[in-house]
Amino acid sequence: MRRVARSYLSGNRRVRVLEDLDLDLPAGQRLAIMGRSGSGKTTLLHLAGVMDTPDSGEIRIAGRAVQDLGEPFRTRLRAREIGLVFQDFNLMDSLSVADNIGLPLWLNGIRDSGRVGRLAEQLAVGDLLARYPWQLSGGEKQRVAIARALVHRPRLVLADEPTGALDEETAADVLALLAQATDEAGVAVLVVTHSEQAAGICNRRLLLATGRLQEAPAVAVK
């Protein structure tokens, strides 16, 4: 991201959320963006996930400028190059675990040649493929969500408070699996969080405050 700015209208007042923001995220790196509630972390994540467009500045993903792309191109880019992990998991209750994991493959027209099963085994949800999300615990749901984010081999994984709905112990398990799986896939990971525990799996951390990024001090993680 280069000199990216984003503001919103709140009533009659324009709120500047991001200002002249610069950010690099090379392949294989895990980056944590931290900050207080309302600091603009989720806006930054949505910009990185091409779900939103900046007021100004440039965003490049895999070398390609995306800020001026039309909606269909952005959607296609998202389907192909990006994996998403949400705080509330956002699994589809109407689909089985296997179908939930396989969604990105279907969206990209890729035939599942055992990839879903392998990834599910890797993330310790191999026995749950026939179940439905409402039959799973929080930790199981997030592991399924991580499998879904990685199954189509994206270049970038975006995780928004990936452990926000989990207890500490489950969160630790899930984070370890996320780190292991993304290491093996060699993807860039952007984690938006205010959890020190979640930030702990990242190689680098930045603090978002008053619309700008700054290096965050490292904190020992349990």
Partner 1 sequence: MLWRSSRQFLTGHPAQLLLALAGIAAGVAVMTGVALLRGALLESLERVDAALVGGEGVRVVALAGPVPEDRFVELKRTPGAPELVPVLIGRVSVAGQALELTGIDPFLSRQLFGDGGVAGLPATLTAGPETVALSVATADRLNLEKDTRLEARIRGRNRELDWIGVEGLPAGMEDRLVADISTAQVLLDRPGELSHILAPAGSEAWLGDHLPDGLALVTADQRRADADRLTGGMRANLAALSGLALAVGMFVVFSVLSFLFVQRRRSFAVLRGVGVRPGQLSWLMVREALFLGAIGTLVGLGLGSWLAQGLMELVREPVGDLYQSLPARTLTPALWLFPVIGLFGLVACLLAVAPVAREAARVPAGRMLAPNPPVMAVGRRLMGAAILILAALLLLIYPGALWLALAGLFLLMAGYALLVPWLASGLLALAARASGAGLGMRGVAMLRSGQARIGPALSALTLAVAVTAGIGMMISSFRVSVDDWVTRLLQADAYLTIDEGQIDGEFARAVAGLPELEGVSSARRTTLADGRVLVAYDLPTRAWAGFDWLEAADDVQARFEEGRAVLVTEPFARRYGLALGDRVDLEALPDPDGLEIVGIFRDYSTDQGFIALAGPDYREAFDDPVRDNLGLYFEGREIPDNFVGRLAESVPGAGTARLTKPADIRSRTLAVFDQTFRITRALQILLGLIALVALVSSLLALALERARDYATLRALGLTRLRLAGLVTGQTLGLAAVSVILAIPAALVLHGLLTGVIQPRSFGWSLPMSWPLASLMVVVPWALAAGFLAGLYPAWKIARRDPAPWLKERL
Which residues form the interface with partner 1 (CB under 8 A)?
Answer: 42, 46, 49, 51-52, 71-72, 75-76, 78-80, 82, 84, 86-88, 90-95, 99, 102-104, 106-108, 132, 134, 148, 160-161
**In whole angstroms, how close is the CB of 106 to partner 1 at the nearest point?**
7
- Residue 192's Cα: distance from chain center in Å? 8
| Of 92 and 221, CB closest to partner 1 | 92
**In whole angstroms, how close is the CB of 215 to partner 1 at the nearest point?**
25
Residue 108 tokens read as 């990209």
- Residue 94's Cα: distance from chain center in Å? 23
CB atoms within 10 A of CB 67: 18
Closest by Cα among 213, 198, 185, 150 to 32:
198
| Of 134 and 217, CB closest to partner 1 | 134
| Of 102 and 139, CB closest to partner 1 | 102
**In whole angstroms, how close is the CB of 164 to partner 1 at the nearest point?**
8
Q: Are 197 and 24 in contact (CB under 8 A)?
A: no
Distance of alpha carbon 194 from alpha carbon 164, whole angstroms: 9
| Of 138 and 217, CB closest to partner 1 | 138
**In whole angstroms, how close is the CB of 82 to partner 1 at the nearest point?**
8
**In whole angstroms, how close is the CB of 202 to partner 1 at the nearest point?**
19
| Of 90 and 203, CB closest to partner 1 | 90
| Cβ-Cβ contacts under 8 Å for 71 (sequence gap 6 or more) | none
How buried is 27 (Cβ within 10 angstroms: 0-12 exposed, 13-18 middle, 19+ buried)? Answer: exposed
